[in-house]
Amino acid sequence: MSNSKDILQQIASLLLYQSVFKSEIGVAFLDLLEKISRCDRSAETNSLGNINLLQAYGHWFKLLAATNKSWQDYLITRILQDDNPFSQQVQKTSIEQLPASLIIAVKQDLQILQNIYNCHTQQISDWVQIISHSPIEIPHWNLETSNNTFLQSEQNWTDALASLATYYRQHGTGIFAQYNALRWQQEQLIGIPHPDPIQLKEIIGYESQKQTLIKNTESLLAGYPALHVLLYGSRGSGKSSLVKALLPEYRDRGLRLIEVSKSELKNLPTIVEKLRDLPQKFVIFVDDLSFEEDDDAFKALKVVLEGSLTARADNIVVYATSNRRHLIREFFGDRPRPSDADEIHSWDNVQEKLSFSDRFGLTLTFEPANQNTYLNIVNSLAEQAGIAIEKTELEFRAKQWATGGNGRSGRTAKQFIDYLRAELA
């Protein structure tokens, strides 16, 4: 590629992958190229123009350095996450069934992107050095390229079309390619950069419940009917942890975890409509669920659990945790009295409240941990953490910890092991 003007023209010619350069770094790159091109065309040296050019280069360099990636790796990441008509359609349709004009556009864009990929930061800094007449040597952002994707190993990117399609089907696009865990916040999905890393092997003492939830999740991932699940029981028993531990186990198979707070449940039908046509499988996670009377969130969740005129989304299930078996608060005043002769059907209201949890297809009960279960959890976590303490002493200290703390539970056991690890360290 001969000069900055050529690069700008080729970027302007992109038909599908324009979003690759709409990030902060991409915009800074385009601004830098425009200033290089403008200064290069100027017949006279312009001090202000040179200053603007150096500032534009510094801005792009700083943004790129903040990613801790090479320019080439950054471009690859943007391409693999790009949400465009090709990356969307190829997740559901084979390449052979896509319009020929769409394939032609993709191939043209890939060729352009490969040309830009081959324009290294050394070349950019040389242009800035020469054009700005800077007396100071201008360094380039020099970080080794990972070379760990199919695009980087392909001599001609247009030959990688099938591999690119497979990647989009497996990993998704846009925010779903960038994040495995997300939350609904302020009317939109927000990515969670650092989800809880807890593993399924760390959930001990409730094997039957764990295996049932795993089986249901695997049915979802395999495209078979899966049930909405209510996990209820004593606090600290690992209900929430079990749901969160599904993500590191199954994210490579297309599972995405969407956290929705109780206050946002009124938006649940909207969330479902956003997700229903995507190829990924989604667990909508609602923690610590309970409702007040006439709660809009109750009505919204009821629509998703029971369905409406709109067909149920086969790629979505709701996993909710609660400390209450009956999710809607019921007061003695709700119950009919013999004197309330005019309230003929008042028991219907009571039954509606009591039976809401039955609308979940599957209910998993987490009973309080007895001493044997608690000590089993402690011993297993200690083994996983590599804590070498005599079993008798470990169990004695664990019982002391539970007595002086929050009682026997999986959460208490985890807190004890964390404390012990820090003490031994």
Q: pLDDT tens, 56-68?
A: 999 999 999 999 9
Q: Which of 108-112, 126-130, 138-142, 344-348 has the highest mean pLDDT?
A: 108-112
Phi-psi region of 174 (alpha: psi -120 to 50; beta: other; left: phi over 0): left
pTM: 0.78
**Residue 328: phi, psi to the nearest 5?**
-105, 125
CA dihedral 379, 381, 385, 388 (to 10 degrees): -10
Residue that is written with structure tokens 């199919």 in the block: 150
Q: CA angle 52-56-60, nearest 5°?
A: 170
pLDDT tens digit sequence for 244-267: 999 999 998 989 999 998 888 888
Contact 153, 147 (CB under 8 A): yes
For residue 284, the 8-state DSSP code is E
The Cα–Cα gap between 374 and 409 comes to 6
pLDDT tops 60 at residue 337? no
If you average pLDDT over every residue of the chain, what do you get? 85
pLDDT tops 80 at residue 345? no
Residue with more model confidence, 334 or 308: 308
The pLDDT assigned to 14 comes to: 97
Which residues lie closer than 8 Å to 139 by C-beta, 6 or more apart? 125
Average pLDDT over residues 209-235: 92
pLDDT tops 60 at residue 281? yes
Maximum distance among all alpha carbons in the chain? 99
Please give the sequence-ordered ranges of beta strands (E in DSSP) within 236-378, or none if there are none: 255-259, 281-286, 316-322, 362-366
pLDDT tops 50 at residue 27? yes
Count of helix runs (H) and strand runs (E) in the chain: 17, 7
The pLDDT assigned to 121 comes to: 93
Contact 106, 16 (CB under 8 A): yes
pLDDT tops 50 at residue 350? no
pLDDT tops 90 at residue 291? no
Average pLDDT over residues 23-42: 89
The pLDDT assigned to 295 comes to: 60
The pLDDT assigned to 348 comes to: 46
Residue that is written with structure tokens 């998703």 in the block: 304
Q: 181-200+208-365: what CATH class?
A: alpha beta
Question: Which of 267, 208, 263, 271 shows the shortest CA–CA distance to 237?
Answer: 208
Contact 406, 419 (CB under 8 A): no
Residue with more model confidence, 326 or 159: 159
Q: Which helix (H) or strand (E) holds 181?
A: strand 181-185
Average pLDDT over residues 110-135: 92
User: What is the pLDDT confidence band of residue 293, given thresholds at 50, 70 and 90?
Assistant: low
The Cα–Cα gap between 222 and 258 comes to 19
DSSP H helices, 42-183, are: 47-67, 71-81, 85-89, 100-117, 121-132, 161-171, 175-178
The Cα–Cα gap between 46 and 54 comes to 12
pLDDT tops 70 at residue 324? no
DSSP helix/strand/coil, 29? helix
The pLDDT assigned to 41 comes to: 67
The pLDDT assigned to 308 comes to: 61
